[in-house]
Amino acid sequence: MKEFEDAVTDGTRSPTSLDTYRGRLNSIVLPAMAALRLREVTVFRVQQVCQAVKKNQSVDSARTVRNILSGICGLAVRYKAMQVNPVRDMAPLEGRRKASRSLEAEEMKDLLQKLDSSEVAIRHDLPDLARWYAGTGFRTGEALAVHWHHLDLDAGTVDWAGNLIRAKGTGNMINDGKTEVSERALALPTWLVTMLRERQVRLAEKFGIEPGELTGPVFPNTQGGLRDKHNTLARWRDFRSDAGYPWVTFRTFRRSVATVLDDAGLTARDIADQLGHSKVSTTQDVYMGRRVKSRKAAEALSRVEWFAE
């Protein structure tokens, strides 16, 4: 864990990843393996542990456990306490991914109308947030990290602001360690710029200041500070269940944006830039500081009739 903690300090790993790894170490790895002698840590034994986690939890949790075990055994090899790292000879942990589902145009319209007519959703500031996701494809934490100074409403653009996370011992914080491709500037669809201008006036009135004086998050908590991502997700789960869309997560909006852009004929590179994606085979590509190259994505989203009267 010391190496992982150092990586977090250096900014190459996320504090939330450290929390996840530490939790899996304490709750799964140590109870299953701590009593074993090093010679008893065999390929069969680590495979057995990982398969049990896969069966009882998920393939992603099993892969995390495998990574932890690999790190421990790798350290033992480096200090000559083990001859080989048994995790390297494990069979792959295969898992079936659920098919991605996006919102159809009529579903999007209906969902947004239900948001606008729900007093609970309005009280928890969900309608504008949902429109932000539908107009940008941002990740959940990315949207909650955006402050007003990241926006240029005259130009219709937003600069990437990092990712809001909640780490043990530090609480809510902005993390900028996702990927180089994540650091991007996006052109915004016209209807989203209109919504943001109206929101700016509304929030300024709420906090008793001029619109141009807003400096906090675009989607703040009730006091104007950083909004808690987990509470926001909980409020969304409550709404989507009541609205008849139990399958819709904030990630569904990302998928919907990707579908719209694909249908509009944008290239895979254009769509990847919009969403901040980096393929496994191209993780070494340098996209840091990538600026807005065209307005094709914003124009495609502007033409979508999700918000037609």
* pTM, 2 dp: 0.73
Position 280 pLDDT exceeds 50:
no
CA angle 133, 135, 137 (to 5 degrees): 50
Quote the pLDDT of residue 184: 79
User: pLDDT tens, 10-42?
Assistant: 655 666 777 788 889 999 999 999 999 999 999
Percent of the chain surpassing pLDDT 90: 61
Asked whether the predicted pLDDT for residue 216 surpasses 80, the reply is: yes
Is the confidence at residue 118, as pLDDT, over 50?
yes
Average pLDDT over residues 48-63: 93
- Residue 130 CA to residue 133 CA, distance in Å, equals 5
* Among the four given CATH numbers 3.60.15.10, 3.30.360.10, 1.10.443.10, 1.25.40.10, the one describing domain 105-307: 1.10.443.10
Does the pLDDT at position 54 exceed 90? yes
Which CATH code is given to the segment(s) 2-89? 1.10.150.130
Strand partners, 164: 174
For the chain, give every domain's residue range: 2-89, 105-307
